[in-house]
């Protein structure tokens, strides 16, 4: 047997359990060895039977005196009962609906038993305790026992029994950390770390093993990011001269003054574009902070250099919004953006493609339609991708490869990247931030609305509409789903129109509608022909209706913090005070905590950090789409470890830029090639 052996061939696994393991992403012995515990049950402290206390989880070393079984009269439940002794002291144990234990427990067996002790009429007794026969190599009781990520039909008890016999095979795994780095950082070999992370001798050994695995994960990530950065800087890219007069003319023609943040970000971007090597920059700013104006200046500078700009957005609604905004910003400079989306008529599409290919059009805005095979640019100098986390890695790279030379790349997001991730996941990207809000933007008053206050909230909406305002109502689903038990846009639209707001104009919008119909309905709301717009998350970004002052979010606990903040950003865009009402659905402690966090926090940057803490890096917007291997032990919030691994990665690349000195490390980079465009 080897690390590449399929798990179905592991003793006592079989085809059925192998199928369950595949649900956890486990296909081979290696996968099983890297299926790390998420926590540990510490049952090492043994309490004498005479000192057991009711109401607490405790562990005792006992001998089975007798075992019996009966069926309870009240609930028709099988009860297995045992009398356990330690010297002259006795404690009971009872298990519910576990008839098979009659074949496992026998008089005279010495056990370690762990569980909650409760008092009864006959004395103290363990209720549903876990137990293990005393002997060499305890796996479950009397030690730090690993608790693994599980799936139905696959318990940690089963996984412990399968993983421990395989640990000697960890010696056959390639150690991806070079010996010199392990020595410099005081880290143990991977085989030792895997043995100790699964079945640690003690807490210090567990911590040391976890540190070793986390360091490797972050080191590989930093190595790939730093290598991509160095490769980009050495690549021939498109140079766009920085013409200060063009920048001044753009700023002077605006109907508003740029914020300090916008001026700084624009200077950083234009400086990057004028430098050798293609720009790779992320412009992150809160909802409504003015990212499009900065991108417009970069597009104008690119056009004045005789080059083209492509702006890609994730939805047609957002693409059309960008075209409208860019048209207003660039009209004084005789630069008109063209729009290419999925619903563009065939004749217009042919005319646009010909004009772009011949260089007659220098600014093209669109959706995924921009990356189709028949789209060709004559001189692509700048690529702008908005809400870049909504696109896959391959989609972003495909647009960047539309130019003869590597174009400058600007990603924009209203979902800020926490600083800890800027050191790791986005280590190959330069960052600009817009933290100021343009003059006139007001903070949105946010409130969590429990079910019993729903009618009061409806009256508040009615009062706002009576004053001439409008409201959004966001639902998690398009249509009803009894299993999920949440409100749908279609049903909620009917209920609000026919029952709650019978005298108001209630419009419906969702993603399954044809593009033209969505555009028409959105236009009716934007021009004030509808009072309420019931929608799904299709309006998360790109919708600008200054007269809308209320954002109602149904089942708000089903959305992440960043998405809730995006919804909230759709209001507060005019001169009127605005409100966000977070309607509770089915709540738990985690959901309640998320909603309270949104209500108390206005800054998208602060919410991004909170989102990472609450949900973990794997679920935060953009990381799944980034294409990264899953982090098993690394904490992406650990800035100190991020800095430590970054320094080690830079030092290694200084001495081995092509990664040829240590083959296991070179092979490990395969998992990052597509992510960081290392091919």
Domain end call among 119, 142, 165: 142
Residues of the chain with pLDDT under 50: 482-485, 541, 618-625, 678-679
In CATH, what number is assigned to the domain containing residue 87? 2.40.50.140
| Backbone φ, ψ for residue 497 (5° rounding) | -70, -40
pLDDT for 588: 62
Q: Is 234 inside any structural domain?
A: no
Same domain, 372 and 450: no
pTM (global) more than 0.85: no
Residues 452 and 355 in one domain: no
Same domain, 462 and 592: yes
Beta carbons within 10 angstroms of residue 621's beta carbon: 20
pLDDT at position 614: 67
CATH label of the domain that carries residue 311: 3.40.50.300
The kind and range of the H/E element at 591 are: helix 589-600
Residues 400 and 540 in one domain: no
- The answer to whether residues 121 and 257 belong to one domain is no
The pair of structure tokens assigned to 532 is 């309420």
Q: Are residues 257 and 390 in the same domain?
A: yes
Number of domains in the chain: 3
Does residue 570 sit within a domain?
A: yes
Asked if 406 and 479 sit in the same domain, the reply is no
CA–CA distance, 474 with 64 (Å, rounded to integer)? 60
- In a domain, residue 228? The reply is no
Last residue of a domain, one of 110, 142, 174: 142
Q: Is residue 188 part of a domain?
A: no
Domain co-membership, 349 together with 497: no
pLDDT, residue 556, reads: 86
Which residue range(s) make up the domain with 503? 445-601
Mark whether 450 and 546 lie in a shared domain: yes
pLDDT of the residue at 624: 47
Residue 350, domain member (yes or no): yes
Residue 475 lies in a domain: yes
Count CA atoms closer than 13 A to 298's CA, side-chain side: 36
**DSSP string for residues in 52-67:** --TTSEEEEEEEEEEE
Q: Do 480 and 407 belong together in one domain?
A: no
* Neighbouring C-beta atoms of residue 235, cutoff 10 Å: 12
The answer to whether residue 356 sits within a structural domain is: yes
**Would 640 be classed as within a structural domain?**
no
Q: Which residues contact 395 (CB under 8 A, 6 or more apart)?
A: 368, 371
Length of the chain: 679
Q: How far apart are CA 304 and CA 285, in angstroms?
A: 26
Same domain, 257 and 379: yes
Domain boundary among 566, 601, 636: 601
- Same domain, yes or no: 464 and 395: no
Q: Are 203 and 144 a contacting pair, CB within 8 Å?
A: yes
């Amino acid at each position: 047997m080897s690390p590449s052996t399929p798990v179905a061939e592991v003793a006592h696994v079989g085809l059925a359990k192998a199928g369950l393991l595949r649900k956890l992403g486990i296909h081979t012995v290696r996968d099983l060895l890297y299926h790390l515990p998420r926590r540990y049950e510490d049952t090492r402290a043994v309490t004498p039977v005479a000192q057991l206390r009711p109401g607490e989880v405790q562990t005792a070393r006992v001998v089975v005196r007798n075992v019996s079984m009966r069926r309870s009269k009240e609930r028709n439940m099988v009860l297995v009962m045992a009398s356990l002794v330690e010297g002259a002291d006795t404690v009971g144990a009872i298990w519910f609906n576990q008839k098979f234990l009659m074949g496992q427990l026998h008089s005279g067996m010495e056990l370690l038993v762990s569980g909650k002790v409760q008092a009864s009429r006959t004395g103290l007794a363990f209720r549903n305790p876990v137990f293990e026969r005393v002997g060499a190599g305890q796996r479950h009781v009397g030690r730090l026992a690993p608790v693994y990520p599980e799936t139905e039909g696959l318990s940690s008890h089963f996984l412990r029994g399968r993983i421990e016999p395989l640990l000697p095979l960890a010696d056959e795994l390639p150690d991806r950390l070079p010996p010199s780095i392990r020595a410099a950082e005081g880290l143990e070999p991977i085989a030792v770390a895997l043995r100790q992370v699964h079945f640690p001798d003690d807490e210090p050994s567990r911590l040391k093993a976890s540190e070793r695995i986390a360091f490797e994960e972050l080191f590989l990530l930093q190595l790939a990011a730093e290598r991509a950065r160095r490769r980009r800087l050495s690549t021939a890219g498109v140079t766009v001269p920085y013409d200060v007069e063009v920048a001044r003319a753009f700023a002077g023609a605006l109907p508003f003054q740029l914020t300090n943040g916008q001026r700084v970000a624009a200077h950083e971007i234009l400086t990057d574009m004028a430098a050798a090597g293609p720009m790779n920059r992320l412009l992150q700013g809160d909802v409504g902070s003015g990212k499009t104006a900065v991108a417009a200046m970069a597009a104008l500078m690119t056009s004045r250099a005789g080059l083209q700009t492509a702006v890609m957005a994730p939805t047609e609604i957002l693409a059309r919004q960008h075209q409208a905004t860019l048209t207003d910003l660039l009209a004084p400079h005789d630069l008109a953006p063209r729009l290419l989306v999925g619903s563009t008529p065939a004749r217009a599409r042919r005319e646009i493609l010909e004009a772009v290919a011949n260089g007659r059009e220098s600014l093209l805005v669109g959706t995924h339609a921009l990356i189709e095979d028949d789209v060709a640019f004559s001189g692509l100098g700048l690529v702008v991708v908005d809400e870049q986390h909504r696109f896959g890695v391959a989609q972003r790279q495909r647009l960047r490869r539309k130019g003869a030379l590597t174009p400058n790349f600007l990603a924009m997001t209203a979902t800020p990247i926490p600083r800890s991730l800027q050191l790791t996941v986005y280590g190959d990207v330069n960052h600009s931030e817009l933290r100021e809000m343009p003059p006139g933007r007001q903070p949105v008053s946010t409130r969590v609305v429990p079910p019993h206050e729903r009618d009061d909230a409806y009256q508040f909406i009615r009062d706002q509409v009576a004053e001439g305002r409008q409201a959004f109502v966001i639902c998690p689903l398009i249509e009803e789903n009894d299993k999920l038990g949440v409100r749908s846009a279609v049903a909620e639209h009917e209920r609000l129109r026919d029952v709650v707001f019978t005298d108001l104009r209630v419009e419906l919008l969702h993603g399954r509608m044809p593009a033209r119909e969505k555009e028409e309905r959105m236009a009716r709301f934007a021009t004030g022909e509808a009072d309420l717009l019931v929608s799904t998350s299709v309006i998360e970004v790109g919708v600008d209706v200054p007269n809308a002052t209320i954002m109602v979010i149904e089942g708000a606990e089903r959305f992440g913090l960043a998405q809730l903040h995006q919804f909230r950003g759709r209001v507060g865009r005019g001169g009127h005070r605005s409100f966000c009402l977070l309607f509770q659905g089915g709540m738990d402690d985690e959901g309640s905590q998320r909603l309270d966090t949104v209500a108390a926090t206005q800054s998208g940057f602060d919410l991004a950090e909170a989102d990472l803490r609450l949900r973990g890096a794997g679920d935060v917007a953009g990381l799944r789409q980034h294409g990264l291997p899953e982090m098993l032990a690394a904490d992406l919030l650990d800035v100190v470890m991020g800095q430590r691994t970054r320094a080690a990665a830079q030092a290694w690349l200084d001495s081995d830029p092509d990664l040829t000195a240590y083959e296991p490390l070179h092979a490990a980079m395969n998992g990052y090639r597509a992510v960081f465009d290392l091919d």
